[in-house]
Structure 1
Amino acid sequence: MTCESVAWADETRFHELREEVEAFVRGPGEQYAAEIERDRAVPPRLWEDLNERGYLRLVAPEEYGGRGVPFSRYLELLELISMSHASVRMIVHVCNGVWRALDRFANEDQRKKFVLPQIAGGIRVAFTLTESAAGSGADLRSSVVRGGDFYYLSGEKHLITFGVSCDYWLLFARLEGTSGKNGTVALMVDRNASGVTVEAMPDTMGVRGTDHATLVFDRTPVPVAHRLGEEGDGLDVAFGGFLTPSRISVAMTCVGLARRAQELAMEHARSRRTFGKPLSSRQAVAFALAENAADIEAARRLALYAAGQWEQGDPHAGALSSMAKLTAVDMLTRVTDKALQVHGGIGYWESSPIERIYRDARAQRFEEGTNEIQKAVIARELLGTVR
């Protein structure tokens, strides 16, 4: 069976797909993980393999060449994929999300030029919002001035995932001289445009293999035809189209990684014997594993609830997405810490699988906004409702 043949209304076939994904994670996925950790780079054939399996377009509409998996069901698959190496789940997560931000504001020409090729795996698009001298988006410093049929872009971006290896940057800037949301624009910037300096960032603590970039733009020409939506729509493209569902997705990636940490901890607790008894018989260890199980299930249910509300168009979905992410990343911190503790000293060595998971787990605390950003979003919703 291939992904192409799955009828999503058929629960049996979805179950078969889920089994297929899990088999990939526990088989080829582990081989890719070892290679990535050894070489500190994602092999090009991983992108090709994921694309051929259809995993990079699971949620895209069937009429666009995607699998058409509903978002909530996709999260079940993402949970499994997130049990693999962090770079594997990063590729799947970004590719299944960025098309949506493009499509909501794209005209037909842009849909043919950017959206459909991205879904098909023909081009890679890097979400390019973060700046070293700015915060959560509304205070963007990168700016553009318009001259005829072009914008001229100046400014800096950093921590841009796939910023080195992409074909386009989905970049957010503001019209020079403006402030606040209304001056923002969303632009598709060609990776080979003139006036751009691309610098690969140093290796990270975890998520090894995924490239990140610092970008400097010096009056880089960008066709006005590459603007998504109107002037002033920039942050709507970023937040509504990408960040809300992406934060829910990141929450579920936390669940998947925590689930893998819990598996490893239980395996070790059952096999490791002290004073003639398995660790699992020790109440302190058993209670830690029980707490982990409750933590994981609570985070999973909140993420799925937020996904369902977003699918239904709930106006509070943005706050729910932040709640889901905040809860899940804190859960992941607790679960991985206890899982490493169950392993004892041996878990600290690179030869132990829990060591990589412990490092990878820290990344989700920064993806799509820190805990402090999530709290600000939630508080704004709460206090606004009260008023």
Structure 2
Amino acid sequence: MSDKNPLYGLPEEHQAIREAVRGLCYAKIAPHAAEVDDQARYPQEAHNALVEADFHAPHVPELYGGVGADALATCIVIEEVARACMSSSLIVAGNKLGSMPLLLAGSEDLKHRYLTKLAEGEGFCYALSEPEAGSDAASMKTRAVRDGDSWVLNGVKRWISNAGVGAYYTVLAVTDPDLPLRQRSKGISAFVVEKSDAGVSFGAPERKLGIKGSPTREVYFDNVRIPGDRMIGAEGTGFETAMRTLDHTRVTIAAQAVGVAQGALDYALLYAQERRQFGKPIAEFQGLQFMLADMGMKVEAARQLTYAAAGRSERSEQDLTFFGAAAKCFASDVAMEVTVNAVQVLGGYGYTKDYPLERMMRDAKITQIYEGTNQVQRIVMARQLLSGIQSQL
């Protein structure tokens, strides 16, 4: 994006953030990306570097010890980290996802207690999905039963990113199971659960296609007793808070998708100019040029939509639900297409682990699935359009 246009150009401070994160990624994250994927291990080097530079949770307000980055700046951080290593970008994106419910609905005491620890480097996770409650999250079975001034949690959560690494978990649980089916979402509440709470345990890491450096585990709650002041918002408002959270954090998934797509395009461009066939660089063949042009065009379109959605997230505008779903859906579809085509540019070499593109292609796939499949995003967008909630630009 050009900085010459005051309407569409990034402000200087955002450009500076991009340059700083890109430099950090080049020096301390990218060199470990292949090994992290190959060994399916947590990217501790990236974690340490991001915490040291205050990029691990840039969204935390200054009031709670954070740097107070806006939604666009946070997206830029995630985009740049994903450009180097998708697994590492989940450190930043996961921290925002896990802590966003506190920012939206938590008491000041709860915010001070946990966001300050997040700003210091402790990780936050988001526990919504269950074995039988994925897209239909309101069908969750995890229960929280009041016992005096405490709540006792029992149940299991599945597909929890960075589970076992993160210190804190936003957990959604049913607190009123007797509501009619149509009102069941009104009987769900949100809580902060600590990894150290008695009765919390974790399953084995999932064996995944991509993002292998971000551990995905089940989280088990066996009579986990937590104080009542760890409820996020009022009783029965947890599901609403969870959905509002996703409106904001789907934009970060779009940023991940833009980042991995840009990383794949960058590598394909370099390769196409160096690889020679029939006596000249393959970049001189028109068929390949058209492929590269389409890749670049779509990555930039995804970036512009993502940044537009980030602006709406920052302002909590009425049409955020549409823009968050649109950015996530479009950018992730672009990421999948671009990474597949980047592998094609390298031919047989792209299919091997000696080059980063097969990893990027595998990593990109998850952006079409988590935080709501792209089929669900299209349902969300259609409902918003039919209800008239979309800005008229």
Q: Normalising by structure 2, what TM-score?
A: 0.90
Q: Who is 2:126 aligned against?
A: 127
Task: Name the SS of the counterpart of 1:135 in structure 2.
Answer: coil
The Cα shift of 1:385 comes to 3.2
The Cα shift of 1:59 comes to 2.4
Task: Name the SS of the counterpart of 1:146 in structure 2.
Answer: strand
Q: How does 1:236-255 map to 2 (within 5 A)?
A: 236-240=240-244, 242-255=245-258
Q: Who is 1:66 aligned against?
A: 66
The Cα shift of 1:186 comes to 0.3
Q: Who is 2:302 aligned against?
A: 299
**What code does the residue aligned with 1:278 have?**
P
Q: Who is 2:164 aligned against?
A: 164
Q: Over residues 137-180 of structure 1, what are the superposed CA-to-partner deviations in whole Å (9 max), with x where a residue is unaligned?
A: 22222122212122222222111011122222210011233352
Matched, 1:47 2:56: no
Task: From 189, 192, 211, give the equivalent of 1:188.
Answer: 192
Q: Who is 1:353 aligned against?
A: 356
**What code does the residue aligned with 2:165 have?**
S
Q: Who is 2:30 aligned against?
A: 30
Task: From 207, 219, 225, give the equivalent of 2:223.
Answer: 219
The Cα shift of 1:45 comes to 4.3
**What code does the residue aligned with 1:271 have?**
E
Q: Over residues 170-202 of structure 1, what are the superposed CA-to-partner deviations in whole Å (9 max), with x where a residue is unaligned?
A: 100112333522111001112233334421223
Task: From 259, 262, 272, give the equivalent of 1:256.
Answer: 259
Task: From 326, 331, 356, give the equivalent of 1:328.
Answer: 331
> Does the aligned pair in 1 maintain the 2:155–2:221 contact within 8 Å?
yes
Q: Who is 1:233 aligned against?
A: 237
The Cα shift of 1:13 comes to 5.0
Task: Name the SS of the counterpart of 1:208 in structure 2.
Answer: coil
Q: Over residues 325-345 of structure 1, what are the superposed CA-to-partner deviations in whole Å (9 max), with x where a residue is unaligned?
A: 111111111111111111101
Is the alpha carbon distance of 1:349 and 1:141 closer, same or farther for their aligned partners in structure 2, counting shifts above 3 Å? same
Q: Over residues 3-47 of structure 1, what are the superposed CA-to-partner deviations in whole Å (9 max), with x where a residue is unaligned?
A: xxxxxxx95554333222111222221222133134321253432
Consecutive unaligned residues in structure 2, runs of 5 or more: 1-9
The Cα shift of 1:282 comes to 1.2
The Cα shift of 1:215 comes to 2.2
Q: Who is 1:317 aligned against?
A: 320
The Cα shift of 1:89 comes to 0.7
What is the distance in 1 between the residues matched to 2:119 and 2:195? Answer: 18
**What code does the residue aligned with 1:25 have?**
C
The Cα shift of 1:255 comes to 0.8
Deviating more after overlay: 223-232 vs 186-195? 186-195
Q: Who is 2:4 aligned against?
A: none
Is the alpha carbon distance of 1:16 and 1:108 closer, same or farther for their aligned partners in structure 2, counting shifts above 3 Å? closer
The Cα shift of 1:212 comes to 1.2
Q: Over residues 80-133 of structure 1, what are the superposed CA-to-partner deviations in whole Å (9 max), with x where a residue is unaligned?
A: 221011121110222244333212222232123212111221x32210001110
Task: From 206, 209, 212, give the equivalent of 1:208.
Answer: 212
How many residue pairs align between the two structures? Answer: 375
Task: Name the SS of the counterpart of 1:163 in structure 2.
Answer: coil
Matched, 1:277 2:280: yes
What is the distance in 2 between the residues matched to 1:328 and 1:361? Answer: 10
> Does the aligned pair in 2 maintain the 1:261–1:357 contact within 8 Å?
yes
What is the distance in 2 between the residues matched to 1:66 and 1:112? Answer: 11
Consecutive unaligned residues in structure 1, runs of 5 or more: 1-9
Deviating more after overlay: 20-29 vs 57-66? 57-66
What is the distance in 2 between the residues matched to 1:27 and 1:382? Answer: 44
Is the alpha carbon distance of 1:70 and 1:194 closer, same or farther for their aligned partners in structure 2, counting shifts above 3 Å? closer
What is the distance in 1 between the residues matched to 2:278 and 2:258? Answer: 34
**What code does the residue aligned with 1:132 have?**
P
**What code does the residue aligned with 1:189 have?**
V
Deviating more after overlay: 29-38 vs 352-361? 29-38
Q: Over residues 226-275 of structure 1, what are the superposed CA-to-partner deviations in whole Å (9 max), with x where a residue is unaligned?
A: 111111110232222x3112101111111111111111111111111111
> Does the aligned pair in 1 maintain the 2:101–2:232 contact within 8 Å?
no
**What code does the residue aligned with 1:112 have?**
H
**What code does the residue aligned with 1:214 have?**
E
Is the alpha carbon distance of 1:295 and 1:43 closer, same or farther for their aligned partners in structure 2, counting shifts above 3 Å? closer
What is the distance in 2 between the residues matched to 1:193 and 1:355? Answer: 40
> Does the aligned pair in 1 maintain the 2:33–2:85 contact within 8 Å?
yes
> Does the aligned pair in 1 maintain the 2:41–2:214 contact within 8 Å?
yes
Q: Who is 1:98 aligned against?
A: 98
**What code does the residue aligned with 2:126 have?**
F
Q: Normalising by structure 1, what TM-score?
A: 0.91
> Does the aligned pair in 2 maintain the 1:57–1:120 contact within 8 Å?
no
The Cα shift of 1:303 comes to 1.0
What is the distance in 2 between the residues matched to 1:19 and 1:142? Answer: 43
What is the distance in 1 between the residues matched to 2:161 and 2:378? Answer: 24
